[in-house]
Structure 1
Amino acid sequence: MPTDSGVDRARLASLAARERATYTERHPRSAAAYGRADHLFGRVPMTWMNKNAAGFPVYVDRARGARLTDIDGHEYIDFCLGDTGAMAGHSPAPVVEAVTRRLGTLGGATTMLPTEDAAIVGAELAGRFGLPYWSFALTATDANRWAIRLLRAVSGRPKILVNSYCYHGSVDESLIVVGPDGHGVSREGNVGAPTDVTGTSRVAEFNDLAGLERELAHGDVAAVLMEPALTNIGIVLPEPGYLTGVRELTRRYGTYLINDETHTFSAGPGGATAAWGLEPDVLTIGKAIAGGIPIGAYGLSAALADALTGRADLDLVDMGGVGGTLAGNPVSMAAARATLEQVLTPAAFEGMLATATAFADGVQKLIDGYALPWSVAQLGARVEYRFASPAPRNGTESAASADAELEDFLHVYLANRGILLTPFHNMALMSPETTLADVHRHHEIFGAALAELHA
């Protein structure tokens, strides 16, 4: 059953049906393209693209800055931004120029050789996040997987601890949640797990230091892999003292700490790690740092890097399980250098955070105006409205607060009027190109949706 979100369910169902019909009428070419995709598994390039509210996805024609146009000719203010992958905006000019130069003038998309850009990107990431040594992947999921292998090797411990309902891509070890009895169980819907996840992983609720210590006390956890704030189950912010407590407990029990900043990079130019003064042993990131070009990266502390390079038994050069032929390729490195040096700069983040604050304040005012039991969470340039008040404090509470019917209605209502949110939840992300006028347009339409729900 859906959560009690303070809306009339019959009226919601009627409005949602109307909006889905309108969506179908407005998108005949997207519907036809979806219908023709017989040789795609699930009719889409990746099956998660079927996470949409109206039966078929919008098909993209072009995108630039904070705008996207579909093949039916409809333009959208894009607050999804590739679920963080396009946080720099779509096709920012410095990235286009750098990639064009690399592919056209210089040549060499894949060479299996370093370029000078890679060292510059590593230095930039070290300056932003405080970890001195960096290596590259093609996705943050791969960065997480490789970090896990390294930390298992150097610690001699088998298990990884994550937070319930965390998000670390498709990392097998992360698909575990706290069950009704307080013990870890496989997350519902986990596809093709290679082994029972409780054999590889431990789990604790976010914001629960007692639960974390209980799991670490077993002495078999190589690393805690966590987001400084939960994101993909809905934004769950850390309570005062929680992240400090996590670091203290991991050190006490001889466990490494990995901060996955792939989404929490929205907190600022150095992510939550810099904004909140965190001290991880490893930091993983991807998506946004190359302006939409595929990339992943992980940074290591000096002590960890020394421990790894001092191990003659670990094959870090050939077949040891860490690396990929396309990782660190010249195109990704050129794109990352341009993004970090010229697009997602400290000055750009100042504007993005201010725009996000205006977004959050406006949504909260609208929610308060209808006395809805909802809340708003802001994580730097990222804002989300939740169908619960007070806001959930851990992943299990956040999952329980979901209202798929209401979420789908709002997403289709907004899309029909030129606004795109992240399809997995009610998240809006600000890019350097997102304007206050874009924010006000969202509020105008969001307010109209609330008015119709409460007519």
Structure 2
Amino acid sequence: MPVSLDGLLRRERALFLQSHPLSAAAYREAGRHLFGGVPMTWMNKTAGGFPLYLDGAHGARVTDIDGHEYVDLCLGDTGAMAGHSPEPVVAAVRRRFGEQGGATVMLPTTDAARVGAELSRRFGLPLWSFSLTATDANRWAIRLARAVTGRPKILVNSYCYHGSVDEVLLVVDPSGRAVSREGNVGAPVDPVLTSRVVEFNDLGALARELSHGDVAAVLMEPALTNIGIVLPEPGYLDGVRALTREHGTLLIIDETHTFSAGPGGCTAAWNLDPDVLTIGKAIGGGVPSGGYGLSAGLAARIEALEGLDLVDMGGVGGTLAGNALSVAAMRATLEEVLTDEAFARMHALAARFADGVQDVITRYALPWSITTLGARAEYRFTPSPPRTGGESHAASDPALDDYLHLYLANRGILLTPFHNMALMCPATTEADVDLHHEIFEAAAAELSR
């Protein structure tokens, strides 16, 4: 008799528990002193009922405390896009923190200007400032946009992801209304009061919402990523830029995940022209880092404002932002690891991944699709790729997600726990991709019996 999805999932969970006794025990022990039993509550997003516990990670490989090795296609949900502990970054951190000494001394280093120059080369914005996360880069960009425009609201796309920024946690509900995103924790105010929201790829809705004249900035990813990859339709991003200019609204492009599109993200690959660009995670090679770039015109407008406190308590910046250790890691990552040549190889591997997945989807007549964005690929449970965040959200299938994640993890492959994303790093190999295909096909065959 065919085995149901519930039956397959129960089997995989039992195998996961049996194979990872040390991780299970560590999780139980952690519950005595850690809220939720984990260092950060999102680590409870696990298909097996408890997280794997890390022993070590190098390149594209992760080892857990039970001794299992995995091909890591999660890569820290982009944070380790350079691979785990790449040697140039390890050397730079060792040199800065050990040999030279000093990580947080509230003094700049010459590395910072080198990083700014390299980010300018890649993305085209001339002036940069640093943070520890993309979330903070987005918060600070929003503050600057409000200061310059004198407008109160921010506009985002439904089911976008820009970190834990208060203003972005709203969606378009099935009736077309803007509502706070389900599960929004302790919002200081209803985000409907601070923000406007439209579906990705909907220029008509964008024009309508900008016509109110109260939007300081549109904050967007050039392609949605955290709800599954949703690519822009032809002419959409040009239309966004034209509408923001028409309505005197700034455009902030968040390349934190879409950096996978190339050395300069989608901004360089698609010839985009934002007023502000934010980025984080990947540029530090695993060391917390982020930043935002400003166009020359916007920087001049900010500098011309009187009474704007950009030095002390103005709400832009943090004591650890731009620290010497993070900046050293960013320089090594950008100059020696995530190079133009590395991206070309990563893109070829992602294409190989997508071709193999599509072959399995076709041979087993699965109503699924696969989408790529440079070094990133993701399969969705729809026959054709969703065109909006709302469509992608509606296509979610938690049980099927859990089955695939567990089936792969139990056989040595890690995907991003929040969605079915695979990311290539400079250390990923063709053999790694082919191993995924072998296991993915076995999982698909079991579903098709």
Fold agreement, TM-score > 0.5: yes
What corresponds to 1:216 in structure 2? 210
What corresponds to 2:87 in structure 1? 93
Per-residue CA deviations over 1:277-335 (Å, capped at 9, x if unaligned) read 00000000000001010001000000000000111210111111101000000000000
Distance in 2, Cα, partners of 1:441 & 1:57: 23
Q: Compute the RMSD of aligned alpha carbons.
A: 0.9
SS at match of 2:4: helix
What corresponds to 1:106 in structure 2? 100
Return the match for 2:15 from 11, 22, 28. 22
What corresponds to 1:337 in structure 2? 331
The residue type paired with residue 198 of structure 1 is V
What corresponds to 1:271 in structure 2? 265
> Does 2:34 correspond to 1:40?
yes
Return the match for 1:438 from 432, 441, 445. 432
Per-residue CA deviations over 1:80-122 (Å, capped at 9, x if unaligned) read 0000000000000000000000011100010111000000000
How far the C-alpha of 1:10 sits from its partner, in A, is 6.2
Per-residue CA deviations over 1:232-278 (Å, capped at 9, x if unaligned) read 00100000000000000000000000000000000000000000000
Counterparts of 1:15-414 in structure 2, within 5 Å, are: 15-37=8-30, 38-414=32-408
Distance in 2, Cα, partners of 1:41 & 1:150: 35
Per-residue CA deviations over 1:137-162 (Å, capped at 9, x if unaligned) read 00000000000000000000000000
Distance in 1, Cα, partners of 2:407 & 2:367: 20
SS at match of 1:341: helix
How far the C-alpha of 1:9 sits from its partner, in A, is 10
What corresponds to 2:6 in structure 1? 13
4+ aligned runs moved over 4 Å, structure 1: none
The residue type paired with residue 299 of structure 2 is A
TM-score by length of 2: 0.99
How far the C-alpha of 1:196 sits from its partner, in A, is 1.1
Seq. identity, %: 73
Report the number of matched residues. Answer: 448
The residue type paired with residue 88 of structure 2 is P
How far the C-alpha of 1:182 sits from its partner, in A, is 1.3
The residue type paired with residue 351 of structure 2 is T
Distance in 2, Cα, partners of 1:146 & 1:253: 22
TM-score by length of 1: 0.98
Give ranges in structure 2 of 5+ residues lacking alignment: none
How far the C-alpha of 1:438 sits from its partner, in A, is 0.3
Return the match for 1:449 from 414, 419, 443. 443
Per-residue CA deviations over 1:7-31 (Å, capped at 9, x if unaligned) read x996111111000000000000000
What corresponds to 2:410 in structure 1? 416
SS at match of 1:54: coil
Distance in 2, Cα, partners of 1:200 & 1:315: 22
Per-residue CA deviations over 1:394-445 (Å, capped at 9, x if unaligned) read 0000000000000100000000000000000000000000001000000000
The residue type paired with residue 101 of structure 2 is G
How far the C-alpha of 1:179 sits from its partner, in A, is 1.7
Distance in 1, Cα, partners of 2:213 & 2:309: 26
Give ranges in structure 1 of 5+ residues lacking alignment: 1-7
Distance in 2, Cα, partners of 1:121 & 1:364: 38
The residue type paired with residue 96 of structure 1 is V
SS at match of 1:259: strand
Distance in 2, Cα, partners of 1:101 & 1:317: 29
Go from structure 1 to structure 2 and tell me whether the alpha carbon gap of 1:325 and 1:373 turns closer, same or farther (over 3 Å shift): same
Per-residue CA deviations over 1:142-195 (Å, capped at 9, x if unaligned) read 000000000000000000000000000000000010122212110000000000
